Amino acid sequence: MSRRCWGPDVTRYNIAPAPGQTYEQSLAMGGVHIRDYISNGSTRKPFMGAIQPRVGFSYDLWGDKETVFFGGYGRAYDRKVATNALDEKQKNQQPGGEIWLVKNDYKAPYTDQYGLGVRQGLGLWNTEFAYTYSYAHNQFNWFGGDRDPHGGWDDKSIIDPLFSGPHGFGTLVLGDFITEAKTQTLYFKADKPYTASSGWGATVAYTYSDAWTTNRQWTNDIFNWTYGKPGVGWYPSADVERHRIVATGITDRMPLGIVLGGKWTYGSGLPYQATDCTQGFDHCFYRKGEGGHFNQVDVSISKGFGVGFGRLAVRLDILNILGDTNYSGYDGFVGGPNTHPVNVFGGDNAHFGLPSTMASVMRTYKMGLRYDF
């Protein structure tokens, strides 16, 4: 990936209040070497090592297709590097605006995934139990590159970025492939296929997930504003819930030839990042908040008629038939220093943990017509 140097040469700007000290020197004191992010057209080499091995196996234990062990491993590379370079170019179009720079010596992002499981036939049912593990390396993030004259973050709290920049320009935003993520899951699935003789089919699946990330925003988001501050570690992912159940069913043995189907989805709820400033606004830190569970039942009713050369089908879908209210967007501010705590973490924000948005529709009706010929 080779390109000319877009944006200003930020190595030549002085930063007050340290006379004689350049912006570059201030950044270097904080571990940011700005020349690593400025290309002269030859410092970005195309990556040629995206080898993606895949291997898998299955073994029929008794040779009767009833008990089958399976597993596999695979590596996949992400090809979004070009997107990051395009963002870099577009963001620097405004004179005196923010400075967006991608590191020259980047490492391509990739994910390794492993899996092992067993499928077992039990009469009319096909069951499956498996474990999977994935590890994502070198995930791309934009993060705050600004540092004060001492290479630090001024008086900002540990969770706050330093938004400033060289004289005459906005915030310095740096891009690098710095984040890792890992997820392990256990899942069980049972499936009774629909057959005309039985007139019904059903599935049920349960998944347990344990997901972590080094992104200080606790998500797989492209931004990781406070990267570089002390306390880097593994954080619970706010993108993956711990437990999830999905069950479906269908039958054509209803009166008048009506076909009835249904789906139930239950989730234990997504965690969210809560900001606790009860020890002082210069000592804020993150806590784990627990979002409410998700519950939704959908039902479909359909009826077919012979019409002309084909068949007309009428279908009614009722989404969230039980009218459950599923929330998201929880207030994550615990509160500041206080003597009158009003929430479970000792903060003074009485609205902490209250939702602001809905995670799914309320009861919704949909009608549909289909003609097959």
Tens of pLDDT, residues 250-286: 999 999 999 999 999 999 999 999 999 999 988 899 9
State the pLDDT at residue 149: 86
Inside any domain, residue 316: yes
Averaged pLDDT, 352-362: 94
State the residue range of the domain holding 179.
57-87+108-372
Inside any domain, residue 27: no
Interval 317-336: pLDDT, tens: 999 999 999 999 999 999 99
Nearest to 334 by CA among 275, 271, 270: 275
Q: Is the pTM of this model over 0.75?
A: yes
Average pLDDT over the chain, rounded to an integer: 90
Interval 219-257: pLDDT, tens: 998 999 999 888 778 999 999 999 999 999 999 999 999
State the pLDDT at residue 17: 41
- The residue with greater pLDDT, 13 or 23, is 23
- Look at the chain and report how many structural domains it folds into: 1
Inside any domain, residue 213: yes
Inside any domain, residue 26: no
Inside any domain, residue 23: no
Inside any domain, residue 276: yes
Inside any domain, residue 76: yes
